[in-house]
Structure 1
Amino acid sequence: MKRLRLDRWATQSQPPRNPRLQLRSRPFSHTVRPIASTRDLQQTCQHISRRGLATETTASDVTPAEDIELVAPIESGQKPTLKAPSHRRAPHSAKLSALHARLSLPSTMPLQTLARCLIDPSVDSRPGYNNAPFATLGQDLLGYYTSEHLICNYPRLPMPIIFAAQYAYVGSQTLAAMRKEWGVETVAAPGQEVDPGLLQLERVKPGKALDESGTMQLKDMPMAKRLGNKARRREELNERRGVGSRIVYDDEFGDLRSEPAVDTEPFAGAPISTAGESQDSSEDITTPVGTTVEAASASFVRALAGAIYLHGDASAVKAFHKDHILSRHLPLHTLFNFTHPTRDLSRLCLREGFEPPVARIISETGRLSRTPVFVVGVFSGNDKLGEGAGSSLNEARIRAAAAALRSWYLYSPPDTQIVVPSDVEGAVLKQGKVKQWKPQMVDMGEIVT
């Protein structure tokens, strides 16, 4: 019988020490064993091999060095560096593999990059550990492809309608809905032990939003003052700036870059207020601020588009944009809201050299009844510009003028003549031939009221 060598007898107060068990990675553990360097790990492994253990030490008993998260020596009060699942766990995640196949992503895009696209900056604010760089590139790409599609297919659209259409296509609410349709779930709390196929984000703590001055919490503010701040903010965003300023200085949605949009919650991204916190603490990259699920979902979709462009090419991201963005139906005629359609139609005819518009009754029924219906058409010479129905002659005339303006703004050239600029960038091949550039129609602009 082979004799066993024991370091010390086991007692209830202190179990026997086994160096091999200390090297094993413990699943579902919230702490990471600090290792000073790779040299210390090698010395520990050599110490195990020198010991005369009863059982043999195989390669499967000792965890390889590349599977252990090496962190800096932990000082007093210092936490582990990684706050999200390691990229080494991505190839073993069934959720990531299913998402990669479900979206038909390029084969050149690894699962590690897809896992990084799911890490929001609220979890780890370091640029190399979150999807912020990918999201910046993806936001520009999605905005560029959407704007060229709208401008080339509808060259007469006013700029406010283009801003609204772009937000409808690639806005935060639309991208958040896409994340739900793809089956990507959000994590309850980020950490290294969770599945890397979940959307990693740190939610905003409730009850800590501040007012615009940053001195009073929103819950302690009177309701009248709260509504007054909201009205004043709406006035600054909508009335202080013109269309030209929104095109040059603002983002692709016509909103201020440094301030949130009016349609969203006014204090959705307010900083967390803690007692004794200085102003410089909010700029520390090691203490990220929480975010909402909608903002994290939009950042994930934008980061995915940027990652596809980096690992694939322009054709791959254009196919992604066409399949998931442009495939959605957007009724553009519902975005128009005319205040004086008859005046705008008169100015349009004067600018284009048409005859002045004239309203004529096409048909009517029940003039003396309780519910009359009048059908009125707006004509410019012998050409009918628009037609509308209403319970009175004036209502029908206004609706006919609005219909005429919509038909003018929603003009689209034939499909054979539409060539967007991205189709000829880098000699993109289509059916084995290079698509030739055709000059697109450029309109004079909307009617200035």
Structure 2
Amino acid sequence: MKRLQLQRWSGTVLSPRTCPTSRIAPFVRLQSTASSAARVEDVQSLENESPVYSAPRRRPRSQLPSPPVQAARESAKLAALHARLGLPARLPYETLARTLVDASADPNPKFNNESLASLGQELLAYYTSEHLICTFPRLPMTVVQAAMYAYVGPKSLSAMAREWGVELAAAPGGEVDAGVLQFKRVDPGSEVGLDPSATTRPRANVWRKSISSGVVYDDIFGDPAKKAIPPSAVDPRIPDPKTVKGVTAEEASATFVRALMGAVYLHAGRPAAKRFFREHFLSRHLDISKLFQFVQPTRDLGRLCAREGFEHPVARIISETGRLSRHPVYVVGIFSGKDKLGEGTGGSLAEARTRAAVAALKGWYLYSPLQVRVPSSTEEEGAEPWKPVYVDLGEVIV
């Protein structure tokens, strides 16, 4: 019987390759935003620590809490979402897929959108607040908070996600398409809302809220802010997905929009982030005049005129019709000296006077300069030096 002669190519079949990337890359779940060089360094450091290293077995997709990284290139829905929103080419599909994974679906911070959403929330708050304050410098604080809620509040962001065509997954998992929003739904019958004891207010049960306390203790919308978890209380280990609480569809959709804003800023830079903000947020029409709610407009108008040194406002009838009929109409104007501050109509003299006072107050608070420039415009290349904008004394404090 002849002895078999092993050829040179037989060594590649009988023994595995010694290249670290070819041995571990298909089996290890790597972060989507990590570079290939960093992956090789991590693998080499891992092999240096353990002389005898055995590659872990490949986990099936059904056992993963979220889709693997390579699934982003296989999703047609993800590519359609990228093209539909006109996202920059610098934003990879892997990061876009990461923005669709909520922390309730995958508690691992390397694969969920929690960090991107934190950055996106700060950017949205900054761009929105500077636009409102520079465009309408006399707005009361409550109206500013209501306008910010209308622009970047959770309900508005959730509606934007639906308009973008983002689908919601029934349940998170590795076998789910990477182009759908994945989150753990709230269990039926559970209470939804913020616990008063988990807020930053020292005495949350006492109903006392002022403008200054709202700025200090509340969030950008004037709602009670969540209490920050101290670093010592954070468990360094990844929590069990079964113990993570679920979220509502509205909260998960809003988190996705915030994470997408942060991802655009990280990958494409500041100009692309501001362009994305203008196209998708500031382009939405908002009638700020409907956000006002006055309790005693005539008294507020009198105090405003006294503060600004104007003559005391006086209500005068401009015209009327049908005084003795069932439906009379009165047109009343508010005058300060020879200047007419506002005009209103009503079925009675008191109603017309109140509406005229409201119109005068809205005309004062909705003042807007002709040329509006925000502070973030100075960050652009070749921008002109910053010129201070108009700063008002503030609302009338009673």
Q: Please state which band the TM-score falls in when normalised by the shorter chain.
A: 0.7 to 0.9
Alpha-carbon deviation of 1:434?
1.9
Correspondence 1:97-246 to 2 at 5 A: 97-209=79-191, 236=204, 239-246=207-214
The runs of 5 or more residues in structure 2 that have no matched partner are 1-9, 16-21, 31-54, 228-233
Q: For the structure 1 residues 289 and 213, does the alpha-carbon distance in structure 2 shift closer, same or farther, using more than 3 Å as the test?
A: closer
Counterpart among 270, 277, 283 of residue 321 in structure 1:
277
Query: Which residue of structure 1 lines up, in the alignment, with residue 388 of structure 2?
Result: 439
Contact 2:305 2:313 in 1 (8 A): yes
CA distance, structure 2, for counterparts of residue 364 and residue 128 of structure 1: 69
| Counterpart contact for 1:67–1:88, Cα < 8 Å | no
1:248 aligned partner:
216
Specify the code of the residue in structure 1 equivalent to 2:367.
Answer: Y
Provide the rounded CA distance (Å) in 2 between the counterparts of 1:141 and 1:405.
Answer: 32
* 1:328 CA displacement: 0.6
Report if aligned partners of 2:108, 2:238 keep a CA contact under 8 Å in 1: no
Does residue 363 (structure 1) correspond to residue 319 (structure 2)? The answer is yes
Structure 1: which 5+ residue stretches go unaligned? 1-45, 52-62, 215-232, 260-279
Q: Helix, strand or coil: the match of 1:202? A: coil
Q: Deviations over 1:176-221 (max 9, x none)?
A: 000011011010111111110000111011024499999xxxxxxx
- What are the within-5 Å matches in structure 2 for residues 39-58 of structure 1? 49-50=13-14
Question: Residues 211 and 319 from structure 1, CA distance in 2 versus in 1: closer, same or farther, beyond 3 angstroms?
Answer: closer
1:409 and 1:249 map into 2 onto residues whose CA distance is 25
Alpha-carbon distance in 2 for matches of 1:202, 1:413: 47
**In the alignment, does 2:72 pair up with 1:90?**
yes
Partner letter of residue 396 of structure 2?
A: I
Match of 2:225 in 1: 257
In 2, Cα distance between equivalents of 1:392 and 1:140 = 48
* Corresponding residue number in structure 1 for 2:51: none
Name the CA distance, whole Å, in 1 between partners of 2:76 and 2:194.
Answer: 45
Q: Deviations over 1:335-383 (max 9, x none)?
A: 1110100000000000000011010101100000000000000001111
- TM-score, with length taken from structure 2: 0.80
Aligned length: 344
Percent of residue pairs bearing the same amino acid type: 55
Paired residue type of 2:219: D
Larger Rg computed on CA atoms: 1
Q: Distance in 1 between matches of 2:220 and 2:194?
A: 25
- Letter of the 2:373 counterpart: V
What secondary structure does 1:424 align onto?
Answer: helix
CA distance in 1, matches of 2:190, 2:150: 30
Query: Which of residues 387, 394, 403 in structure 1 aligns to 2:359?
Result: 403
- 1:391 offset after TM fit, Å? 0.4
1:69 positional shift: 5.2
